[in-house]
Amino acid sequence: MTTTQEPDEEEEEQVDDHLADVEEGAGCTEIWEHLSERRNDD
């Protein structure tokens, strides 16, 4: 028997938290730019 564990909501939020400010429907370029800007801010 195979069982799968579903991630907790808290874990799921942490995984994509870095994309919270990206507009829905954004393409690869917009996501890349957003991540680059965040990296520069750090």
Q: What integer best gives the mean pLDDT of the chain?
A: 79
On the question of pLDDT at 16 being above 90, the answer is no
| CA 7 centroid distance within chain | 15
Tokens 């938290």 found at: 17
- Helix count (H) and strand count (E) of the chain? 2, 0
Q: Which two tokens stand for residue 3?
A: 């069982």
pLDDT number for residue 29: 94
CA 8/CA 37 separation, integer angstroms: 29
